[in-house]
Amino acid sequence: MDKVITVLPGDGIGKEVTKGAIEVLEAIAERYGHSFQFEYGLIGGTAIDETGSPLPDETLEKCRKSDAILLGSVGGPKWDKNPSHLRPEVGLLKIRKELNLYANLRPITFFKSLAEASPLKPENIEGVDLLIVRELTGGLYFGKPSERQTRDGKEAAVDTLFYTREEMTKIIRLAFELANNRRKKVSSVDKANVLETSKLWREVVEEVAQDFPEVEVEHVLVDNAAMQLITNPRRFDVVVTENMFGDILSDEASVLTGSLGMLPSASLSYTGLNLYEPIHGSAPDIAGQNIANPLATILSAASMLRLSFGLEEEAQAIEHAVNNVLDLGYRTKDISATGSKVLTTDEMVAEVKASILDREAISNIMSAYK
């Protein structure tokens, strides 16, 4: 299979972790006989420095011509005091809007060998396997007006929470489809006791649910969902929610498994041009030191193979390699524990690659004996 992948390293550790994921994709290409062509684009603070824009048109053009996008992360103290239109995060919001990346998928999976790194007791975290489906291009972050105002002579500010029924239907339907291929349970999160948008959201959930009779559906208020993610995370399969609730809940859920450095995400578009990125930021405190955990980005690359290219076996090969390396006791600093072997970013990437390529050697031997 021949595919073009646009890589947007971004800022800080984004550069280090995307480099690692590309090496792993190259190992997959070698093992399975694919050809991946990597095109590079600028985004975030680095793009501001080089072009004056957090998302240059040239980057968008490259993305549109490719089959999938791999993003590192954006941001850093250097740009924190920039005017709001020249902040790195504007690049992220713009790419989501321009490419219609309406759905963000965050799988939260328990890694047995990392149980110690979780803030929860092992018995509460073991077996957690949930998927947060967050609406990404509507709601408070995009609604207009969003501005400072003066009302009755008083200084004020307003943001707008706006959704069309169509926007809600798209994301809710996707959640049901995903649940249908998993444990068949959708937890829809809203604030229907207060918000009009949430009341419409519930109506749409009930409507879409009619088409998925095998999927169990429940409505959970967002405050209750925040609590239950900590007290009983195993009860969730697919959690679907609007943009801001999803932003907060997915960050909360991300610490369940121990480290930001382990969690991938996928942002899906209406057109099929999807973007894959780790959930963590640019980690300026450790950037340039070759100690960042590359596994979240490597696992994001696995999601790309599965969701964009339909390469399930190859995706699993990466996931098995990551599990294998963890089982061997290899860790980056953020997930290290007593007795583990602490590796640099590059060494961790090398171990994952070796695991992928070794499996080939093993399977060749196995088939020779068949």
Q: Vertex 284, ends 264 and 247: CA angle to 5°?
A: 40
**Based on the number of CB atoms within 10 Å of its own CB, is 202 exposed (0-12), middle (13-18) or buried (19 or more)?**
middle
Q: In what order do the strands lie in the sheet with 216-221?
A: 35-40, 2-10, 68-73, 274-278, 264-269, 101-109, 129-135, 238-241, 185-190, 216-221
The residues that are catalytic are 141, 191, 223, 247, 251
What is the DSSP secondary structure assignment for residue 54, as one 8-state letter?
S
| Binding positions for ligand NAD, rule: CB under 6 A | 13, 17, 73-76, 89, 92, 260-261, 280-286, 292-293, 296, 334
Smallest separation (angstroms) from ligand NAD to the CB of 318: 16
Nearer to ligand NAD, 82 or 169 (CB): 82
Q: Which residue's structure tokens are 């969730």?
A: 236
Smallest separation (angstroms) from ligand NAD to the CB of 277: 6
Q: Dihedral sign, CA of 221, 227, 233, 234?
A: negative
**Residue 313 backbone zone (phi > 0: left; psi -120 to 50: alpha; other: beta):** alpha
Asked if residues 346 and 290 have their Cβ atoms less than 8 Å apart, the reply is yes
Of 185, 168, 166, which is closest to residue 176 (Cα–Cα)?
A: 185
Nearer to ligand NAD, 66 or 345 (CB): 345
Smallest separation (angstroms) from ligand NAD to the CB of 272: 22
Structure tokens at 23: 């090496």
Rounded Cα distance between 60 and 41, Å, is 8
Smallest separation (angstroms) from ligand NAD to the CB of 176: 27
Nearer to ligand NAD, 74 or 136 (CB): 74
Smallest separation (angstroms) from ligand NAD to the CB of 21: 11
